[in-house]
Amino acid sequence: MKDHYEEIQNNKEQIKKLFLSRVKKGFRCWMWKGSVTNEDQGQIGLSFATIKAHRLSYMLYIGHLKPRQVLEQTCGNKLCVNPKHQKIIINKKILHRLAGPRDVLGQNNGRAKLRDKDIKKIRKLAAKKSYSEIAKKYDMSATQIAKIARMESWTHVPD
Ligand SMILES: [Zn+2]
């Protein structure tokens, strides 16, 4: 993911207009009405790149967002693009490390999304369902699920 902050700022008013034409503002949340990604996140095609709608919202109304910074909606609504509902959760490198084979932190880390009991559940599900199906359910990538199922990550949780 590239850093498009400069390009957005250079053409801010026009981009904001385009962005708002695909938003339905509710009492709390701003619902995205434009196209969505495979992960059900809003996206918008700009002349220089296709950008996730909630990330664009953050860069239009709040400020710079580094490519590795991940946003999460505090309202729990994945299609909400209200800039006030976007929170930087954790940088991607750490996220990757948490899910990676050398992860020894597990749930004691406090930042990990999954709990030990989820890991056990995922391993059970992996016997019946595809990794991508499980990934969808837990909002993770199929690779992360595969690592968990093959005991390459979260190795401190007994099978
Ligand atoms: Zn919201």
Surrounding residues of ion ligand 1, Cβ less than 5 A: 29, 75, 77, 80, 82, 85
How do residues 92-125 score in pLDDT, each as one tens digit? 555 555 555 544 444 444 445 678 888 889 999 9
Least confident of 30-39, 43-52, 133-142: 133-142
- For residue 17, the model assigns a pLDDT of 98
CB atoms within 10 A of CB 158: 9
- For residue 93, the model assigns a pLDDT of 56
Q: How confident is the model at residue 54 (pLDDT cuts 50, 70, 90)?
A: very high
Is 157:106 a contact under the CB 8 Å cutoff?
Answer: yes
CA of 82 to the centre of ligand 1 (A): 6
pLDDT for 134 beyond 60: yes
CA of 75 to the centre of ligand 1 (A): 5
Q: Where are the domains of the chain?
A: 5-91, 100-149
Q: How confident is the model at residue 57 (pLDDT cuts 50, 70, 90)?
A: very high
Mean pLDDT for the stretch of residues 21-36? 97
Tokens coding 23? 């938003």
Q: At 116, which helix (H) or strand (E)?
A: helix 116-125
CB atoms within 10 A of CB 79: 17
CA of 100 to the centre of ligand 1 (A): 30
The counts of H helices and E strands in the chain are 7, 6
Query: Measured between alpha carbons, how far is 12 from 59 in angstroms, rounded to an integer?
Result: 10
* Residue position matching structure tokens 């729990």: 76
Query: Rounded to two decimals, what is the model's pTM?
Result: 0.58
Architecture of domain 5-91: Alpha-Beta Complex (3.90)
CA of 127 to the centre of ligand 1 (A): 36
Q: Does 101 or 128 have the greater pLDDT score?
A: 128
